């Protein structure tokens, strides 16, 4: 059996970093970790070929070669996914689909032959057994959650590593919290399930032996969901693994209560974690109560963020506008909070209701649901009818985005962050690739860009005042270029609307 593992294309999004990747000549930020993991669960006798449409095209030769197409996707890849499936069916291929998009919306994909939903450790074996016997059902699903101690290492060898900026690793699944707008607990449960430290080290070794020397992103929705195992098992193992391997760094997603645990922050720092994403959401306490964001309530969020930064870990933040408790004052409050926090990478989106969430069900009961969400965090669309006037909400949102990512405010936020930031544990060397990225930034941001004055002010300020952070300053300048392109192309030019 020859299986074609296909990952559809992402549109130009906030987290895609398309415009920043050009500076380092990469095609994609991350590889398709789910597909690579599923590939390791397929029969060893099957021939396997990965086609990530974010790094190369799907060719007629690929389709001629294959017996079966296995497609995985997230909601934001919906458009490309429909196109991929139609093309595969035109070639007469059996199409098997799984992943978050299909788990939520499988009824929207009539051309798919078989759906392997939820977590593949439980549903894939049944499908493979039935397929071999010629009696495969159309839908395989499960309400249970597997023990991921048995999950195999991804088939990294299917990747062409040179196309990617960062490698993806998964340590845990599930989150102990229950935010109304989040579908993680519906998909993966409340009890965080973790891999063993030995599993993670094997995965890292596999990539290291293939020649990977870049950064790693732990894709966990909340890495610190199981603090005990993290502190006693994984982080000590990572600290030991990194010895003699200079330059390798980690990033991940956590909840804001990380700020309460100095020991944990120290361990993360020692292990090489230099960046975390936190769902801050809003400075409006009433909105936090409304969405059941208990871990963020009754805290000084600004102090917590700065405390994490002081411990040598950069905070990226997610923010939401459009809660029922929000008034028009929220626009300026969000701007002021983000500017003061020094969160350079601030993803701000309108509230959306993913299928499977309590918010989705509430909106449905209240008659306030409008279709399905786009999956794009910053396109300014929403699939709910907000309490606030839609025109006021849309215009206010546009003001927030344009203000935060104007060159003046963005570069000011970079300086605020760098002043607060403890020098990272890991000094990433400026190799030839990064040196070329620096030269490209000088040309594109320092010469050709009409807002070059802000680039040069940061350039010399960081070089003279924060020389150890100079590479990070240039990286953030490049990120800013990407974010401004997203603002101009995805928001201002296309306008804001509700999801259809």
- Using one digit for the tens of pLDDT, what is the confidence trace for 260-313? 999 999 999 999 999 999 999 999 999 999 999 999 999 999 999 999 999 999
Q: What is the pLDDT of residue 247?
A: 80
pLDDT band for position 499 (cuts 50, 70, 90): very low
Q: Is the pLDDT of residue 398 over 60?
A: yes
Q: Is the pLDDT of residue 495 over 80?
A: no
Over range 142-167, report the average pLDDT.
97
Q: Is the pLDDT of residue 496 over 50?
A: no
Q: What is the pLDDT of residue 500?
A: 34
Residue pair 172/226 in contact by the 8 Å Cβ criterion:
yes
- Of the candidates 407, 400, 408, 411, the one whose C-alpha atom is nearest the C-alpha of residue 378 is 400
Over range 363-383, report the average pLDDT.
94
pLDDT band for position 430 (cuts 50, 70, 90): confident
Over range 72-89, report the average pLDDT.
98
Over range 186-208, report the average pLDDT.
96
Question: Percentage of the chain surpassing pLDDT 70?
Answer: 97
Residue pair 396/403 in contact by the 8 Å Cβ criterion:
no
Domain 165-419 has CATH 3.30.200.20: no
Alpha-carbon distances of 360 from 104, 107, 344, 389, rounded to whole Å: 12, 17, 30, 20
Q: What is the pLDDT of residue 225?
A: 96
End-to-end CA distance of the chain: 40
- Positive or negative CA dihedral for 243, 245, 246, 247? negative
Q: Is the pLDDT of residue 429 over 70?
A: no
Q: What is the pLDDT of residue 491?
A: 65
Q: What is the pLDDT of residue 437?
A: 95
Q: Is 395 exposed, middle or buried (0-12, 13-18, 19+ CB in 10 A)?
A: middle
- Of the candidates 8, 14, 9, 10, the one whose C-alpha atom is nearest the C-alpha of residue 490 is 14
Question: 180: which 2 tokens?
Answer: 């109304």
Over range 130-142, report the average pLDDT.
98
Beta-sheet pairing, 193-194 with 139-140: unpaired
Q: Is the pLDDT of residue 498 over 60?
A: no
pLDDT band for position 230 (cuts 50, 70, 90): very high
Q: What is the pLDDT of residue 412?
A: 98
Domain 2-140 class in CATH: alpha beta
Alpha-carbon distances of 424 from 253, 274, 409, 489, rounded to whole Å: 18, 6, 24, 34
pLDDT band for position 416 (cuts 50, 70, 90): very high
Question: Percentage of the chain surpassing pLDDT 90?
Answer: 93
Q: Domain-by-domain residue ranges, the chain?
A: 2-140, 165-419, 431-492
State the helix-helix crossing angle for 452-465 and 470-486, rounded to 10 degrees: 160
Q: What is the mean pLDDT of the chain?
A: 95
């Amino acid at each position: 059996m020859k299986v074609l593992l296909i990952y559809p294309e992402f549109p130009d999004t906030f987290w895609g970093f398309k415009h920043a990747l050009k500076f380092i000549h990469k095609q994609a930020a991350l590889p398709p970790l789910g597909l690579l993991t599923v590939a390791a669960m397929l029969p060893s006798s099957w021939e396997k070929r990965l086609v990530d449409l974010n790094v190369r095209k799907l060719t007629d030769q690929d389709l001629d070669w294959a017996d079966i197409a296995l497609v995985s996707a997230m909601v934001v890849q919906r458009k490309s996914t429909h196109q991929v499936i139609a093309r595969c069916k035109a070639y007469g291929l059996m199409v098997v689909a799984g992943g978050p998009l299909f788990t939520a919306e499988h009824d929207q994909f009539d051309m798919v032959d078989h759906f392997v939903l939820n977590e593949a450790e439980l549903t894939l074996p049944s499908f493979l057994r039935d397929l071999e016997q010629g009696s495969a059902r159309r839908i395989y699903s499960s309400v249970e959650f597997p023990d991921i101690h048995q999950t195999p290492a991804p088939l990294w060898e299917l990747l062409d590593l040179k196309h990617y900026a960062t490698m993806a690793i998964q340590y845990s699944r599930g989150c102990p919290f229950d935010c109304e707008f989040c579908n993680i607990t519906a998909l993966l449960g409340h009890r965080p399930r973790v891999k063993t430290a030995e599993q993670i080290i094997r995965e890292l070794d596999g990539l290291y032996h293939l020649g990977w020397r870049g950064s790693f992103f732990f894709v966990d929705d909340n890495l610190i969901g199981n603090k005990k195992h993290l502190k006693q098992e994984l982080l000590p193992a990572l600290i030991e693994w990194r010895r003699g391997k200079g330059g390798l760094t980690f990033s991940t997603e956590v909840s804001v209560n990380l700020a309460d645990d100095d020991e944990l922050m120290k361990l993360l720092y020692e292990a090489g974690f230099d960046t975390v994403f936190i769902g801050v959401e809003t400075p409006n306490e009433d909105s936090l109560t409304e969405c059941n964001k208990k871990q963020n309530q009754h805290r000084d969020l600004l102090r917590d963020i700065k405390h994490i930064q002081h411990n040598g870990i950069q905070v990226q933040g997610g923010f939401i506008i459009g809660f029922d408790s929000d008034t028009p004052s929220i626009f300026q409050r969000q701007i002021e909070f983000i500017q003061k926090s020094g969160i350079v990478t601030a993803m701000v989106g309108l509230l959306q209701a993913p299928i499977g969430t309590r918010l989705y069900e509430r909106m449905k009961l209240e008659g306030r649901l409008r279709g399905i969400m786009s999956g794009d965090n910053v396109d300014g669309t929403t699939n709910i009818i907000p309490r606030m006037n839609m025109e006021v909400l849309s215009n206010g949102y546009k003001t927030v985005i344009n203000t935060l990512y104007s060159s003046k405010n963005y570069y000011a936020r970079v300086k605020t962050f760098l002043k607060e930031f403890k020098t990272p544990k890991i000094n990433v060397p400026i190799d030839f690739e990064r040196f070329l990225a620096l030269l490209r930034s000088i040309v594109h941001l320092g010469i050709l860009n009409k807002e070059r004055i802000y680039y040069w002010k940061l350039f010399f300020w960081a070089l003279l005042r924060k020389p150890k952070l100079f590479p990070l300053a240039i990286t953030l300048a490049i990120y800013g270029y990407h974010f401004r392109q997203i603002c101009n192309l995805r928001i201002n030019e296309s306008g804001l609307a509700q999801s259809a």
